[in-house]
Structure formats: C-alpha cells, structure tokens
Amino acid sequence: NLLGLVGCCTLVRDHLYLITEFMPYGDLKNFLLKCLEMTFASILNMFQDHIARSRYVHGDLAARNVLVGEDLKVKISDFGLAEDIYSRGPTQKVLWKWMAPDPAMDGTVYTAQSDVWSFGIVLYEISTLGGDPYPDVPSAELKDRLQAGHRMAKPERCPLAMYGVMTQCWSWRPNERPTFRQ
C-alpha cells in the first residue's frame, strides 16, 4: 500500500522531481474535506426538504443551528424563529448575514425560499469549514451591497458544483431560487 515510484527527473538544476503513480482522488486531507462538504450538505438538504414539506419555515438556518451527534448524525436545531407558513406574524430577530434580502427589503414574510437563501449561506460555512459569511462586508452595508448584486466569491476549497448551488440559492428573486426538492 505504498505509492509507486515511476521515476525521477534531475534535469532541473537544484531540484529533484519524483514521478509517482497517479492517484485520482489526491491526498486524504482534501478528499475528506470534499466528502465532508458533500455529505453534510446532502444531509442538511434532506432535513430542509422535510421542513418544507411540513409547512414550516426555519427562519434562522445557519451552521450554528446544525448539530452533529454520534455517527455524524446531523440535526437542525433552534426553531425559535420557525413559523407555520399559514399562521405567522411578522418575522422576528434574524442575523442579517444569514437572512434572505426579500423580507429585509420589502417587509414580506419569511418563506421556504428565504430558507433556501440561508441554505446557500450554510453551504458557504461548510465549504470554508466554519468561516463567517461576507467576511469583508460590515452588517450595516450588507443590504445595500446585496441589492447592488454583491455575492460572496467562491471559497478556495469549494467544489465548483457546490458553488453553483450556492449562487442559485442567492438569486435576488425568490422564485428564481431552487426548491429544497431540487
């Protein structure tokens, strides 16, 4: 189980290059990071689909509200802001960096599509291993920046497909965001 040495190159001055067999999944660290990102994102999406089918909107979906138990069992917590979508009042206190812009801008109610926006933020947190969203944007400026079209850049280790899902989740118009079943 040792990596096979195919050859070496000494033609470059002061450098020795080893030529080894090709390993399609690369090193274990990056492989695990990619697996973890995709596994947690899939599990979280499954929970959100359940929430959407049961007519409830979480309203505060964030990595801090996703708990990991034994055998990596993931559970969504902190339903303090969760509301029945057929009998709710105004939205309560929500942290701006996780909140969809539609309720913040026009005072509309928080919907399942608002949770989809927040899911995109959670994907960002997963891909940055817990990084804060919008790290270079003060909260006071966030609404204006989002309205102007600013979105977070692709995190360094984020798979392109995952970033594509994130940007779809961050569509300005709620009806252009994917549903949790997609």
Catalytic residue positions, numbered = 60
- Amino acid of residue 17: Y
Distance from C-alpha of 82 to C-alpha of 110, rounded to nearest angstrom: 10
To which H or E segment does residue 120 belong? helix 112-127
Distance from C-alpha of 133 to C-alpha of 13, rounded to nearest angstrom: 45
Break the chain down into helix, strand, coil percent, rounded to 5.
Answer: 45, 10, 45
Show the CA angle centred on residue 24, arms to residues 19 and 28, nearest 5°: 90
55: left (phi over 0), alpha (psi -120 to 50) or beta: left
Question: Which 3 state secondary structure label does DSSP give 139?
Answer: helix
